[in-house]
Amino acid sequence: MLHSCDQPRESPASTQGMTNATTHTTAPRPVNPNALRVRRHRERRRYGLRMLNVTVPETVIESAVARGLLASDDGAQPWSVIQGCYASLLSDAALAWLIDNGVITHEQRGDAGAILRSINGWLERSV
């Protein structure tokens, strides 16, 4: 005899020795790539962050490497590339002047953030 939900009814004898707790295990569903993208966007927004995609010409990277402002093995590291490319906007003469006048150290010449902080500190001291 079938119930109204069309499930077969088990006889009491067939259920003896079985526990009443039924566990249902389901495989985790894969996350939709669009849902994951939106989730990451919302998380960044929650922390006040914004994702930017920057296109840098190979010639700019090669120039920074050739001038010693970017190590050749750092060419795939996004932040290192950005630092080296910004530092390469300064001429060799400008970098030499900053080093010779003690504004930056030779090690800082490829670090745009350190260069700007040092110039800022130098200007504040001179005012």
Whether 20 is covered by a domain: the verdict is: no
Domain assignment present for 82: yes
Quick: pLDDT tens for 69-90: 999 898 888 888 988 888 989 9
Q: Please, which residues bridge with residue 2 across strands?
A: 8
Say if 26 falls within a structural domain: no
Tell me which residue range forms the domain holding 121: 58-126
* 47 domain residue, yes or no: no
| Domain annotation covers residue 44 | no
Record the pTM.
0.57
State how many domains the chain has. 1
Residue 22: inside a domain: no
- Of all residues in the chain, what percent carry a pLDDT higher than 70? 82
d(CA 47, CA 122): 33
User: How far is the C-alpha of 66 from the C-alpha of 46, rounded, in Å?
Assistant: 40
